[in-house]
């Protein structure tokens, strides 16, 4: 038997083992392979996963021992004419909102941001669990660390994770992994969804529909910012969640959903000249 015929099967075996090991190490779930834009940190949050997570832990009822009184509610009513005017005014205000990536360093009073977050916190939530944490960062050093984390990951996103199609779909928006606004904007608001609640006695409570609830809160937050004359861009930095959570010292039950730089628009800010779909394309009346 020649040396070659003995060594070849051995080499093939070693190669297979090494490739198998590398494949396992770099493994992503089938869902991840199919949907690379879904953040790994956000992925495993189905109701099922929440239930699994709590198997050997002590969980409590969401509203344990809380008898909630039901009180009369009479919201403001307007005449038809006023309703028409108000609905149009609000639409026109919101229609001027744009995602702005050029933000002025000019300071913004903190109390305005506090009010905006109060408005976001009025969102409805599953079983009224209010599963959100808004981390407001104005410290320049922390903002810069956030920028370093985001830019490092976003470069990998653009170069590898997102793929050619996604990158070319974004080309008209002229986005890239350089995020100057993370240093420049007077505030960064990092919105975390709490996948479950932790009570004072360390018991857990289920946060039903936490991602939907926090997404609704984000919508209100965007409207409140627009109403205050501030701008933002709804950035969702892919795969930065765990590092940012650690940097900001947030607990394990909190997952980053959105990162919003907030401030006035820079004087020379530009936005892509996009059109919105007309009503018949977005509304079906049955």
Binding site for ligand IYR (CB under 6 A): 154, 170, 173, 175, 235-238
Closer residue to ligand IYR (CB): 15 or 170: 170
Closer residue to ligand IYR (CB): 11 or 173: 173
Q: Which helix (H) or strand (E) holds 84?
A: helix 80-95
Question: In the complex, what is the shortest distance from the CB of residue 195 to ligand IYR, in angstroms, rounded to a whole number?
Answer: 22
Closer residue to ligand IYR (CB): 1 or 171: 171
Strand arrangement of the beta sheet that strand 59-60 belongs to: 59-60, 204-206, 196-198
Question: In the complex, what is the shortest distance from the CB of residue 263 to ligand IYR, in angstroms, rounded to a whole number?
Answer: 17
Contacts of 123 (CB under 8 A, 6+ apart): 132, 213, 214, 216, 217, 219, 220
Question: In the complex, what is the shortest distance from the CB of residue 260 to ligand IYR, in angstroms, rounded to a whole number?
Answer: 12
Closer residue to ligand IYR (CB): 213 or 235: 235
Question: In the complex, what is the shortest distance from the CB of residue 151 to ligand IYR, in angstroms, rounded to a whole number?
Answer: 10
The full 3-state SS of 89-155, as one line of letters, equals HHHHHHHCCCECCCECCCCCCHHHHHHHHHHHCCCCCHHHCCCEEEEEECCHHHHHHHHHHHHHHHH
The full 3-state SS of 230-260, as one line of letters, equals CEECCECCCCCHHHHHHHCCCCCCEEEEEEE
Closer residue to ligand IYR (CB): 120 or 238: 238
Question: In the complex, what is the shortest distance from the CB of residue 202 to ligand IYR, in angstroms, rounded to a whole number?
Answer: 35
Question: In the complex, what is the shortest distance from the CB of residue 100 to ligand IYR, in angstroms, rounded to a whole number?
Answer: 13
Closer residue to ligand IYR (CB): 175 or 227: 175
DSSP result, 186-244: SEEEEEEEESEEE-TTS-EEE-TTHHHHHHHHHHHHHHHHHHHT-BB--B--TT-HHHH
- Which residue's CB comes closest to ligand IYR? 175
């Amino acid at each position: 038997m020649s040396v070659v015929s003995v060594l070849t099967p051995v080499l093939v075996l070693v190669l297979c083992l090494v490739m198998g090991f590398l494949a396992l190490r770099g493994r992503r779930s089938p869902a991840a392979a199919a949907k690379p834009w879904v953040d790994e940190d956000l992925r495993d949050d189905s109701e099922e996963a929440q239930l699994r997570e709590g198997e050997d832990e002590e969980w409590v009822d969401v509203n344990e021992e809380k008898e909630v009184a039901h009180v009369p509610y009479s919201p403001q009513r307007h005449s038809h004419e006023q309703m028409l005017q108000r609905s149009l005014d609000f639409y026109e205000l919101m229609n001027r909102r744009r995602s702005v990536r050029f933000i002025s360093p000019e300071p913004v009073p903190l109390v305005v941001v506090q009010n905006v977050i109060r408005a976001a916190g009025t969102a409805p939530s599953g079983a009224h669990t209010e599963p959100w944490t808004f981390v407001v960062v104005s410290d320049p050093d922390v903002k810069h660390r956030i920028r370093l984390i985001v830019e490092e990951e976003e470069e990998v996103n653009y170069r590898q994770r997102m793929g050619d199609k996604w990158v070319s779909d974004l080309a008209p928006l002229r986005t890239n992994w350089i995020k100057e606004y993370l240093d420049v904007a007077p505030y960064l608001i990092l919105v975390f969804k709490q996948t479950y609640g932790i009570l004072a006695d360390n018991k857990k409570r289920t946060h039903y529909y936490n991602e939907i609830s926090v997404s609704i809160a984000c919508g209100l937050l965007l409207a409140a910012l627009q109403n205050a004359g501030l701008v933002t861009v709804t950035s969702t930095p892919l795969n930065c969640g765990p590092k940012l959570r650690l940097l900001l010292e947030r607990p394990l039950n909190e997952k980053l959903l959105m990162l919003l730089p907030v401030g006035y628009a820079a004087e020379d800010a530009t936005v892509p000249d996009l059109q919105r779909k007309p009503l018949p394309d977005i509304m079906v009346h049955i």
